[in-house]
Structure 1
Amino acid sequence: MRALIQRYGHDIVTGVEAIFANKVKSFLTALGIIFGVAAVISMLAIGNGAQQEILDQIKMVGVNNIVISPVIHSVDENEGANDDTEGGVQISTKKFSKGLTLLDATAIEEIIPTVEKVSPVISFNYSAILDGKSKPVELEGITNNYFHLFNIALQGGKEFTDEQIEKAFPVCVIGDNIKNVFFNQEDPVGKYIKCGEVWLQVVGVVERRDFTASASDELGISSTDNKIFVPAKTLIMRFKNRALVRADEVEEAAAARGSNGSNKDENLNQLDKIIVQVTETEDLAATAEIIRRMLLRRHNDLYDFEVTIPELLLKQQQRTKNIFNIVLGVIAGISLLVGGIGIMNIMLASVMERIREIGVRQAIGASRTDIIVQFLSESTIISVTGGIIGIILGVALSKIITVIFDIQTIISAFSVVISFGVSVIVGVTFGYLPAKKASEQDPVNSLRY
């Protein structure tokens, strides 16, 4: 190694001196490599961020989950449809469905063998009150299965007991924000909080979860930090049961429609969702179809519900994003290739401009290997320097994209190593041809040039 350095060190130093003697040309030569490396790092960072977001969403929706949600129509959307008149009396032949109910959730859990867990979900907006503090919250009626279906852990306390669920006890599990607002540094477990007109005893606190804004509630994903969870039967019996329609509510709804002349979509379903977990992934599609047919029979052949499989939708998104990431990577790779071609072209032009210099070096004893090492070191140093600057620029671009466009980016060591390695290979590969051409110059003709 020492002999090689002594033999070719002067050639490398000469190459470095040539780079500094032509700073602008060297910088313009390196631009292709700089932008190519920066593009590879930033594009792969965007791709890694998109993949991580999908994985986080899959974790949040749980594995093998099916979400059943009601389809809400306007009150008079089908009003008068399929009505017959007999003897001057109008007879309605419309089919009737109670919508999603607890009985539907129970039937799915008991009848379908591929189903592992089921949890109903009922949501209402209330105000939580304690010691003069008030905060809008989402009150959610669930069962303990809900925490397991969505991989929700508790930072304190415990889940509901079977007795609390069956007998509709006024107990709750609160989100992290609720704990911070009302209890500050105190342990809320065992204390009470008022929601609406009901005092609820806190039995547990949900662990804080990072929630992605792009996560869709359609997939069953939502933040738990501002929620108060109660047993589903507690919400139905102590707060509100939408399946029970009272006469005063009917009169108020009729008066409201008569006064403004417009109808508002109303959710008269007892449940807002039913979350179903299937034992095996390969049974997801078949189980979803069985659930659809069962509910269709239970709802008098009315499609007043929708069955979705979040995991399959997210995996389809992941496949789409993977293809998009490959396209971005190829485009960025092409920019590196173009940068290498630029190095070759400018180095070839440099050879033509420096023919006399080459002749002088050959005349005083430089061998063809010395000339090759000189020009190859120039192209390699330019590409390596461009790679280093490109890495810095790529990291900066990734951070800027995250800050300005709110797009998650993850810079991986793999993308940095690959892009830098490719930049070095490009410098050596595309610098060899000009170096070889320079070494083949005839010294006599070069001195006459």
Structure 2
Amino acid sequence: MRKTPFQIYLRYAHNITIAIEAILSNKVKSFLTALGIMFGVAAVISMLAIGKGAQQEVLEQIKLVGVNNIIITPVDQSIDGNGVNADNGNKKKKFSKGLHQLDANSIIETIPSVKKVSPVVSLNYHAIKKGKSYPVTLEGVSPDYFEMLNIVIDQGKHFSEQHSDMGTPVCIIGDNIRNRFFNQSDPVGQYIKCGQVWLQVIGTIEKRDFTASASDEMGISSSDNKIIIPIKTMLMRFKDRGAIKPEVMDNMAGGGFVFFMGGNPEDEAPKASGKTTNQLDKIIVQVDETEQLSATADVIKRLILRRHSNIYDFEVTVPELLLKQQQKTNEIFNIVLGAIAGISLIVGGIGIMNIMLASVWERIREIGTRQAIGASRKDIIVQFLAESTLISISGGLIGIILGVLLAHLIHLMADIKTIVSFFSVIVAFGVSATVGIIFGYIPAKSAASQDPVESLRH
């Protein structure tokens, strides 16, 4: 007749009780035996938490830069089409007016795979409301900007086509600005002053988590301190760096005049010294399908290069592809971290095996006595196997607590995002129990194989 699990437990309960008593009677030795497992489990949990946090950061960054987006930014204009500095004595310096609204229009009109385009102009201002002044980033964008970057409006509404076409002085404000100026009231419909312009608030942006590490490489910035206005409002009412200024016209007197009268755009055309000619700070382009990102980026590069007289005064970046490459690197990094932490668990298991082997020889008389009064080989194996498994499981439980605390400390002290997942806890605990069983079996088998007569002689 097949025995039930409860019957099996009753059969070996006494052996398990003896194992527990042995552990409790040698608390210090049992604790030191479990140290390897404790630190191994803590290392596995904390390392996997770092890896999970890194993966989550990448996913958040992809949301921040938007799906299938390409970002075009201006760079140093002193590089020619061959990547060589154009300020040499043998060449005339070609003229490029920099990143311009016309470039954005050309992209959406020319390239079929492009879904949406938003030019962006950013300026630093002080917002003023009832005598309070607060530094803000004033950003001019198109209505598509919010959808492209997954920005949620939690109060009010988006820009309308009329706002964009007419350059209406309306704005959508970030969470910090709302809390600063409209903490006790509804901001929608009220006015806020930037420079000499009064802007009507038509919406507020929902606060979202922002990873500062993303800002440097991807050009991402938090929307919490932004006042966002239509691009035409920015160019009409605040600043248009692409407009022809009197000092530029003075510098253009003479040879430069042919450029505006239909001359060759590659002819020499000086710029106002020390002034940027980039009308836009960047252009964000959204592509229909992810598979089209690389090809579209290449077409955009060639299109703008032709429009800018073969001057590389811009840079085309595909953040999603860079982030996915970073994610792949993180996955490899996680495997390495997990392997290193796993090795510490194996070392802990070897420590258990060594201590239990030594314990067998220390307790040889006990083993002989139990065998003499009727204990079978299975009873001896269960006793020592239970002892090693209980030590390992106890070390695993303490290691889980240490691992969670360590992950939290890493987050607080090193400002590294960590996420402790239920899966990592289960894996670490399961491995610790398995290590106790595997590395405890050899000492248990060694104890059971002792000759009772020889054991009693010791």
- Asked if Structure 1 and Structure 2 have the same fold, meaning a TM-score greater than 0.5 normalized by the shorter chain, the answer is yes
Q: Indicate if the aligned counterparts of 1:72 and 1:266 stay in contact, CA closer than 8 A.
A: no
CA RMSD of aligned residues (A): 2.1
Equivalent-residue separation in structure 2 for 1:326 and 1:51 (angstroms): 13
1:87 aligns with none
2:280 aligns with 271
Relative to structure 1, the CA distance from residue 81 to residue 243 in structure 2 (aligned partners, 3 Å threshold; closer, same or farther) is: farther
Verify: 1:407 aligned to 2:406, yes or no: no
Relative to structure 1, the CA distance from residue 356 to residue 320 in structure 2 (aligned partners, 3 Å threshold; closer, same or farther) is: same
Q: What is the identity, as a one-letter code, of the residue corresponding to 1:46? A: I
Equivalent-residue separation in structure 2 for 1:80 and 1:32 (angstroms): 64
Q: What is the identity, as a one-letter code, of the residue corresponding to 1:236? A: L
**Aligned counterpart in structure 2 of residue 328 of structure 1, from 337, 340, 346:** 337
Q: How does 1:131-280 map to 2 (within 5 A)?
A: 131-247=130-246, 266-280=275-289
Equivalent-residue separation in structure 2 for 1:9 and 1:410 (angstroms): 39
Q: Indicate if the aligned counterparts of 1:73 and 1:265 stay in contact, CA closer than 8 A.
A: no
Q: How does 1:423-438 map to 2 (within 5 A)?
A: 423-438=432-447
Report the 3-state secondary structure (helix = DSSP H, G, I; strand = E; otherwise coil) of the residue aligned with 2:309.
coil
> Structure 1 vs Structure 2: percent identity of aligned residues?
65
Q: Indicate if the aligned counterparts of 1:74 and 1:266 stay in contact, CA closer than 8 A.
A: no
What is the deviation of 1:250?
Answer: 9.4
Relative to structure 1, the CA distance from residue 200 to residue 157 in structure 2 (aligned partners, 3 Å threshold; closer, same or farther) is: same
Q: What is the identity, as a one-letter code, of the residue corresponding to 1:25? A: K
The CA deviation string for residues 289-332 of structure 1, in whole angstroms up to 9 with x for no partner, is 00000001100010000000000011111111110000000111
**Aligned counterpart in structure 2 of residue 288 of structure 1, from 293, 297, 306:** 297
Equivalent-residue separation in structure 2 for 1:181 and 1:374 (angstroms): 68
Report the 3-state secondary structure (helix = DSSP H, G, I; strand = E; otherwise coil) of the residue aligned with 2:214.
coil
Relative to structure 1, the CA distance from residue 80 to residue 366 in structure 2 (aligned partners, 3 Å threshold; closer, same or farther) is: closer
Report the 3-state secondary structure (helix = DSSP H, G, I; strand = E; otherwise coil) of the residue aligned with 1:277.
strand
2:27 aligns with 23
1:254 aligns with none
Equivalent-residue separation in structure 1 for 2:233 and 2:74 (angstroms): 21
Report the 3-state secondary structure (helix = DSSP H, G, I; strand = E; otherwise coil) of the residue aligned with 1:216.
helix
Moved more, 42-51 or 264-273: 264-273
Moved more, 324-333 or 348-357: 348-357
Consecutive unaligned residues of structure 2, counting only runs of 5 or more, are 251-271
What is the deviation of 1:117?
Answer: 0.3
What is the deviation of 1:3?
Answer: 3.2
Consecutive unaligned residues of structure 1, counting only runs of 5 or more, are 85-92, 252-262
Verify: 1:371 aligned to 2:375, yes or no: no
Equivalent-residue separation in structure 2 for 1:62 and 1:17 (angstroms): 61
Equivalent-residue separation in structure 2 for 1:2 and 1:63 (angstroms): 56
2:113 aligns with 114
What is the deviation of 1:196?
Answer: 0.3
Equivalent-residue separation in structure 2 for 1:83 and 1:135 (angstroms): 50
Equivalent-residue separation in structure 1 for 2:311 and 2:404 (angstroms): 54
Equivalent-residue separation in structure 1 for 2:441 and 2:298 (angstroms): 63
What is the deviation of 1:236?
Answer: 0.7
What is the deviation of 1:81?
Answer: 4.1
Equivalent-residue separation in structure 2 for 1:281 and 1:80 (angstroms): 39
Equivalent-residue separation in structure 1 for 2:442 and 2:216 (angstroms): 58
Verify: 1:5 aligned to 2:9, yes or no: yes
Relative to structure 1, the CA distance from residue 249 to residue 127 in structure 2 (aligned partners, 3 Å threshold; closer, same or farther) is: farther
Report the 3-state secondary structure (helix = DSSP H, G, I; strand = E; otherwise coil) of the residue aligned with 1:63.
coil
Equivalent-residue separation in structure 1 for 2:133 and 2:232 (angstroms): 25
Moved over 2 A (4+): 1-7, 72-75, 77-84, 244-251, 263-268
What is the deviation of 1:214?
Answer: 0.7
**Aligned counterpart in structure 1 of residue 364 of structure 2, from 349, 355, 371:** 355
The CA deviation string for residues 257-306 of structure 1, in whole angstroms up to 9 with x for no partner, is xxxxxx99643200000000000111100000000000011000100000
What is the deviation of 1:396?
Answer: 0.7
Q: Indicate if the aligned counterparts of 2:143 and 2:161 stay in contact, CA closer than 8 A.
A: no
The CA deviation string for residues 156-190 of structure 1, in whole angstroms up to 9 with x for no partner, is 11111111111111111111111111122211112
Q: Indicate if the aligned counterparts of 2:77 and 2:311 stay in contact, CA closer than 8 A.
A: no
Equivalent-residue separation in structure 1 for 2:54 and 2:193 (angstroms): 41
**Aligned counterpart in structure 2 of residue 386 of structure 1, from 350, 374, 395:** 395
Aligned residues: 430
Equivalent-residue separation in structure 1 for 2:283 and 2:20 (angstroms): 70
1:316 aligns with 325
Report the 3-state secondary structure (helix = DSSP H, G, I; strand = E; otherwise coil) of the residue aligned with 1:229.
strand
Moved more, 114-123 or 200-209: 200-209
Provide TM-score, normalisation by structure 1. Answer: 0.92
Q: What is the identity, as a one-letter code, of the residue corresponding to 2:132? A: K
Relative to structure 1, the CA distance from residue 362 to residue 187 in structure 2 (aligned partners, 3 Å threshold; closer, same or farther) is: same
The CA deviation string for residues 23-82 of structure 1, in whole angstroms up to 9 with x for no partner, is 22211111111111111100000000000000000011110100000003589x979645
Q: Indicate if the aligned counterparts of 2:157 and 2:202 stay in contact, CA closer than 8 A.
A: yes
Q: Indicate if the aligned counterparts of 1:83 and 1:94 stay in contact, CA closer than 8 A.
A: no
